[in-house]
Amino acid sequence: MLSYIKGLLEEVTKDTIVIEANHVGFSIQVPGSIFKELPSIGEMVKVYTYLHVREDAMVLFGFITKDDMEIFKKLITVNGIGPKGAMGILSVMTGYELRVAIMSNDLNRICLAPGIGRKTAQKLILDLKDKLKLIDFEDSMDGSAIMKNTNVSLQYADEGVEALVALGYSSHEAVHAVRGLHDLDSVEAVIKEALKKLAMF
């Protein structure tokens, strides 16, 4: 119904933003992680949206990237995770970081989300692991934004992240270490340069 809304950012509260588009103010619930990506009040912003309809209300959820929106839609299919739980997860990690956590069975990372215990995190991984592939970013316009400033092959980046997680780094540390690497033509080179960055943290 509404793929995205583009307009002036009029208001920002704890978990909601208001965007004015064509003289209409849209109240949109957003994850906490979105706030660092928002422009100043009065500036233009584009937010991908998902309209959640239930018996007593219609709620509009918004995300900076299309991938985060698609991840949200998959999260709410998991038994025990509703919109509130999905927003909580995406408040502590991006869609890309969640993909890495799921692919690497990083329960601790997922459990950082409010209200998500180990049993729910295990079910989330079980239900979504076969549905989420890191390499899917290759066909996504938002993929380059997720790994912004990176011109390493996404396949090498994905494998490098998985290798770093296997070495004991958290999925969050691994993603940030790989992000921003340039002109590397092998997984080994990605891992080597990422380890140098991690040693500096």
What are 25-47's pLDDT values in tens digits? 999 999 988 888 899 999 999 99
Which value, to the nearest 10 degrees, does the dihedral of the CA atoms of residues 60, 64, 65, 69 take?
A: -20
Provide the 3-class DSSP secondary structure of residue 38: coil
Q: What are phi and psi of 35, to 5 degrees?
A: -65, -35
Distance from C-alpha of 166 to C-alpha of 102, rounded to nearest angstrom: 13
Our CA angle for 41, 70, 113, nearest 5°, is 75
pLDDT at 1: 65
Tell me the CATH number for domain 4-64. 2.40.50.140
What is the b/e burial string over 20-40, where b = at least 16 CB atoms within 10 angstroms of the residue's CB?
ebeeeebebbbbebbeeeeee
Top-ranked range on mean pLDDT: pick from 78-92, 96-110, 165-179: 78-92
Q: What is the DSSP letter of 94?
A: -
Q: Where are the domains of the chain?
A: 4-64, 67-200
Q: What is the DSSP letter of 138?
A: G
Tell me the CATH number for domain 67-200. 1.10.150.20
Distance from C-alpha of 190 to C-alpha of 114, rounded to nearest angstrom: 33
Distance from C-alpha of 41 to C-alpha of 18, rounded to nearest angstrom: 10
What is the b/e burial string over 148-164, where b = at least 16 CB atoms within 10 angstroms of the residue's CB?
eebebbbebbbbbbbbb
Q: Tell me the residue type at 3.
A: S
Distance from C-alpha of 76 to C-alpha of 63, rounded to nearest angstrom: 15
Encode pLDDT of 137-196 as tens digits. 444 434 444 444 455 566 677 788 888 888 888 877 887 788 778 778 888 888 999 999
pLDDT at 154: 66
